[in-house]
Chain A
Amino acid sequence: MPTTFRLNGQTATLDADPSMPLLWALREVAGLHGTKFGCGMAMCGACTVHLDGQAVRSCVMPLSAVEGRDITTIEGLHSKQAKAVQAAWVELQVPQCGYCQSGQVMSATALLEKNAAPTDADIDSAMSGNICRCATYQRIRAAIHSAAQSLKV
């Protein structure tokens, strides 16, 4: 049964099992590989995408749940907050193995889109669901602050 939704700003119709998690529909049906598989139970955040602007875990969200809604993946990020986040990520050399970073960037972008000047506590609340086994957390925190700063100017 096909599911139709907005994917990175364009209408997409994916013909797949409606109970298939969005993650696998994005990766294997839409061919978008930036969103990663880490745990399959919303525990690690590697699969984070935006659903109507909110950061959600695509690995537990059935494809059927996004019918008619708006999904943005790492490939479709374009807001000024997203650009600031990605620039700060490179500037502060955040990634190590890099596998979780798509999810980290998605969560950080969603945070900045709602909260222009997050505190450390806000960052903890928004980012603690994204595990990084390389523990790049200190740089993620700094990069979010740096991105917020760059958006003020």
Chain B
Amino acid sequence: MKKHPVLWAFATIIALSIIIVVYIVLGPSALGFAGGKTVALAAYHGEDPTGAAPELKAASLVERGEYLARAADCAVCHTAPDGTAFAGGRAFVLPFGTLYSTNITPDAETGIGNYSDANFLDAVHKGIGRDNTKLYPAMPYPSYTYMSDTDALAIKAYLFTLRPVHAPAPKNSLAFPFNQRSLMRVWSALFNSDRRFEPNLDRSPEWNRGAYLVEAMGHCGECHTPRNLFFALNNREKFGGAVQAGWRAYNITADRASGVGAWSDADLANYLSAGHAEGRGSASGPMGEAVDESLKYLKASDISAMVTYLRSVPALTTSDLPEPKLTPAVTAQVTAPEANPHGKAVYEGACAGCHGWSGVSPVIPFATLIGTRSVNDPTATNVAQVIIGGGHRHSPVDANNMPAFGAAYSDDEIAAVANFVTARYGVKGSDLTAARVAALRAEN
């Protein structure tokens, strides 16, 4: 039989596609990098890596549930801007439509008031709603699936103490085929292991505690790990950084230049618990929310365990991220002819008051730009985002908030000032365009 070239090409494409899909589907799990021998939680005889912080051993179920709900950061997604906590309605603008978070107050009709324990565990572990619908993985159940039943039910106990709020979730507006929830079953079968956390016998108890907090609770990878073709986490590049909701969630592997390898343990702990590490930068955008709603409530021992675990994640290099410049800009005032006069003009009016001219803030350490990842990011993505939307941190005092400038400044002005900032305080500078700023506005 004669070989038909078109058929052959077709067959090759199909074969290659299958290989790619298999490659993707067979990717490592979130904890796969660690190697070693794991056992079921029940069979583990070390210190229990699950549960609330050791300080809360004697606390009530509801108190422990509250701590765990903080650790799992439920409130951020399940609360609309200016809305009642946990009543849902926050919009998630995705490339293929808008999703809204649901009400998880114990309202029978619109919340989870009628959920049995089994219903709740199905939702948390498998992404299956009470009416047997599949949830979209905006709900990070591939991470929460590691959560122990005990902990999930403690969270449920806490949620059931809240005042029920009658708040139907707005209708999702997803394009075909993403509006077909049944497809999520296939996705789930491929990308949700539906396995609880299994302690690693070759790692320390502290590491195991950190792993549980980072993976099952904090679901850090949901932002910091890139996604594959099927929108699932690609753990081959675990914590290598990704773009999420228009912000860059940076590389948090041990790489010294582009990750957090050069950060001290104290830097990492401060950043996680206070949203700020001296000379490293301040959390804003989605990370700022994670600190305000979740991480700042965690006990020091838990933060320390998370640091231990993060340090063990293999280094990956993000090629476009250089090692941040640590030296302040030299002149007190800008006197040299300016390559970007328009950006400078915006900076001197709106920015210099807090950020100064050296990049070391004369007012508050939170506002120091030198050493921060974002001003050393040649895409200037997060610089632009924080200019557009401001930095709304709840602590330590609200005076530390950076105002939002998006409404007053044009795309062109925001691009100009972002480029001025990265050129002056970063290693490489950036070439952000007004069109890109417009796109970032839309994503936020």
In the bound complex, residues from chain B placing their C-beta under 8 Å from that of A118 are 333
The A16-68 residues at the B interface (CB cut-off 8 A) are 19, 21, 40-43, 45, 51, 54-57, 59-62, 65
A–B Cβ pairs within 8 angstroms, 18 of them: A19-B397, A21-B399, A42-B353, A43-B403, A51-B362, A54-B356, A54-B362, A57-B354, A62-B399, A111-B333, A115-B332, A115-B333, A119-B335, A122-B334, A125-B333, A125-B344, A128-B349, A128-B352
Question: Cβ of B332 and Cβ of A124 under 8 Å apart?
Answer: no
In the bound complex, residues from chain A placing their C-beta under 8 Å from that of B345 are 124, 128
Question: Cβ of B399 and Cβ of A121 under 8 Å apart?
Answer: no
In the bound complex, residues from chain A placing their C-beta under 8 Å from that of B354 are 42, 57, 60
A76 within 8 A of B: no
A49 to chain B, nearest CB (A): 11
The A59-110 residues at the B interface (CB cut-off 8 A) are 59-62, 65
Docked CA distance A125–B334 (Å): 7
Docked CA distance A62–B400 (Å): 9
Question: Cβ of A125 and Cβ of B357 under 8 Å apart?
Answer: yes
User: Of all chain A residues, which has the CB nearest B398?
Assistant: A19
A18 to chain B, nearest CB (A): 9
A133 within 8 A of B: no
Docked CA distance A65–B397 (Å): 12
Count how many chain A residues have C-beta atoms less than 8 Å from C-beta atoms of the other chain: 29
If A124-B348, A128-B352, A129-B352 touch, whether A56 touches B363 (CB-CB below 8 Å) is: yes
Chain B interface mostly: loop
> Beta-carbon contacts of B334-353 to A below 8 Å, as 1s and 0s?
11001000001100111011
Count how many chain B residues have C-beta atoms less than 8 Å from C-beta atoms of the other chain: 24
If A121-B335, A125-B333, A125-B357 touch, whether A60 touches B348 (CB-CB below 8 Å) is: no
In the bound complex, residues from chain A placing their C-beta under 8 Å from that of B364 are 60-62, 65
If A42-B353, A114-B333, A128-B352 touch, whether A56 touches B362 (CB-CB below 8 Å) is: yes
If A62-B399, A125-B357, A129-B348 touch, whether A57 touches B333 (CB-CB below 8 Å) is: no
Question: Cβ of A57 and Cβ of B397 under 8 Å apart?
Answer: no
Question: Cβ of B403 and Cβ of A129 under 8 Å apart?
Answer: no
Docked CA distance A60–B334 (Å): 24
Question: Cβ of A62 and Cβ of B333 under 8 Å apart?
Answer: no
B317 within 8 A of A: no
Docked CA distance A45–B354 (Å): 10
Question: Cβ of A61 and Cβ of B334 under 8 Å apart?
Answer: no
In the bound complex, residues from chain B placing their C-beta under 8 Å from that of A19 are 396-397, 399
One of A54, A62, A114, A124 near B397 (C-beta < 8 A): A62
In the bound complex, residues from chain A placing their C-beta under 8 Å from that of B353 are 42-43, 45, 57, 129
User: Of all chain A residues, which has the CB nearest B361?
Assistant: A56
Question: Cβ of B335 and Cβ of A128 under 8 Å apart?
Answer: no
In the bound complex, residues from chain B placing their C-beta under 8 Å from that of A121 are 334-335, 338
A14 within 8 A of B: no
B84 within 8 A of A: no
One of A43, A114, A122 near B350 (C-beta < 8 A): A43
Question: Cβ of B335 and Cβ of A122 under 8 Å apart?
Answer: yes
A126 within 8 A of B: yes
Docked CA distance A129–B344 (Å): 12
The B296-355 residues at the A interface (CB cut-off 8 A) are 332-335, 338, 344-345, 348-350, 352-354
In the bound complex, residues from chain B placing their C-beta under 8 Å from that of A124 are 345, 348
In the bound complex, residues from chain A placing their C-beta under 8 Å from that of B335 are 119, 121-122
In the bound complex, residues from chain A placing their C-beta under 8 Å from that of B362 are 51, 54-56
User: Of all chain B residues, which has the CB nearest A48?
Assistant: B353
B98 within 8 A of A: no
